[in-house]
Structure 1
Amino acid sequence: MKLVAYDGSGQEIPGAEVDPAVLEVEVPITNPFKQVPIQLKLIGQLPSGLSVENLTPSAEQATIYGPQTELDKIDFIEADLNLSEVTKSGKVDITLNKSDAITEVSPAAITVDVQVVLTQTRTIQGLPITIKGLGNGLKMQIMNPASGQADITFKGAPAVLDKLQPGDVSVEADLSGRGPGTYTIPLNVNSPRFVDQSGGNTSIEVEIANIGTESTPTPGVPTTDEAASGGVIEPDGGEPTGTEAEGTGGTVGSPTSSPSPTPTPSSSLSSSPSPTDGA
């Protein structure tokens, strides 16, 4: 950089000599950066008979560099962990996924301590079934299972299954778009990470009818109110509001008789080893 002399009014002084006449200046330039959490993306499956007990990454956050407009769009950064390549407990090195818009990631890779054990199973009985999407002006009755509740068998690591509680699991059936008639509805079972369904109820049989339509009770099958007492009814356009099995324009109508208290899931839990089950 050439140096020039100026007077008090900011005008260059002709013929003025400056010593030294040239300076070398180093100006550091730093890209915008942002710290974001690292999310492990699990791909593939463990070999049959093994389940994940715990995953511990060497870092939980990463610093990403790039244009500020791109940084503002990113809330986390992923790292792929391929479970199909894991055959025993140990440490696995994986690279963080960097998009083209990001110029740098620090750290660029992390180490994950993977703990795997033999798979076991556990059954939780009497789980309530949440009914979603029951149309306005319709009522429903769970025909099978007769209890109106679900018995689900889960698989996973023994230490993980030991901590599993009924409140950690949700069981849902979606009746959206269905009018009067009898249907077999698949169940959607949501469970914690590293816990999967391996058996038990996978669907329910329901009968849908117009409100006000009389139906002949089937011996051994709960009535509309009795069936509803085993779960939660969520009609179209409304939030879950209790145990009524009717959809009435986005709100649930009052039952004709007092509903039975919502049953508590059975405390009778079974656990058995299953070396052949997959994770």
Structure 2
Amino acid sequence: MDRWLSNNSFVKVMSLVMAILLWMIVTNSSTSSTGAVVGQPQVTSQVTSVKLGARYDDRKFIVHIPDTVQVELKGNRDILALASLLSKNKFDFYVDLSKYESGRYDVPVQYEGLPPGLDVVVTPSVVNVTIERIQKVQKDVRVVVVGQSPDVAKVGNVIVNPRTVTVSVPESQVKNIGLVQAVVNIEDATETVNSSVPVRVLDRRGQPIESAKTSPSSVDVQVPLTIQPSKKVPLKVSFTGKPADGYGVTGLDVRPSEITVYGTQEMLNALSAYPVPAVNVDGLTESKTIQVPLPLLKGVTRVDSPSVTVAVTITAGKESMKQEEPSATTPASEQRVSKSLEIPVFIKGVADGQTSEIVKPESGRINCNVVGTKEAIAQVDQSKLSASVDMSNKPPGEYTAPVQVNLPSGVSLASDTTDLQATVVIHDRAAKS
């Protein structure tokens, strides 16, 4: 130490530091000409809204408390600035519910983490809280398959794992649990669907119970799908009739030029082109574009374009293009005709403990047009026809769903009645009684 003190440079540095410290002390203790202490921040306040927390055993209870409280902090600017820095992750406003059981209580708001020297005013200083004990019940998961894929011929039996989950809800909600549900969407699916699906807990009205939790929170679902055979083929277009004298058909252009056909494999193997109903050109003197619906051939369940556009080119002074006349060569027994039918609608898939009713159409019957060969239409026995609407895995509520019509072989729905729907209301049998 003596050696440092004998060092002239060290002594000069220490003297300078001491001088600066003395200057700061004198400056902070000096007064202004008005008598106020120089450098002493004035007392001020700030009001803010802060999140209110709760301390409790969340494995046993669910609590309901106000989201926020108003807090007024009073103090000098330096302390308030420090409090502002701490607000990001240090101080906490909360209610301590660790010693409470189920019930409603008025509980004081507490806080911690604020620097000393502040006056703290909390509004309200006492809040009303509700505490409910958590009840755990075992419930089966019901899988709901939604969406439609044009490639799917049949939906198989759904497999869910695990089949049963543990539902944790407030004790007041146990009797209100209506359904534990997992929804799987097969829209545009082209193969069996395997998916991890979140689980929802619904009340008896079909509304989510927001406070409910499940363990596990999701389940693995497999939806086996049978993909129906399909084939892409060109369209075969023709015309019937004769244009006005001096005019001829010089072109037939169909759009799209090819379609995808769905049906039995036997029918697809024999199909090389799909026939478009002959376009009538009788008396035409100019070109024309015509929208033509595509009927379903025997063995065809669906085509990806229900109608096509045919552009007919009519030219003066030209002979009509040569073509086959399918209408002239088609046997009468294979000519397609239409018929209007009224068919009763039945509801299928309603769960045990539920009742259902069709509210639209009010008669419970649908009117539709069907097409087929004369022979097939002549053999239709309307009394043996039925239609159905599938309400499988549906909780209580009102639903509008497509109607599936059971038709005999060789008969299909006309293009103007392919979108048949019915509105069904499902009731919980116990609630309705």
* TM-score for both structures, normalised by structure 1: 0.37
Flag the structure with higher strand content: 2
* TM-score for both structures, normalised by structure 2: 0.25
Higher relative contact order, structure no. (Cα contacts within 8 Å, ≥ 6 residues apart): 1
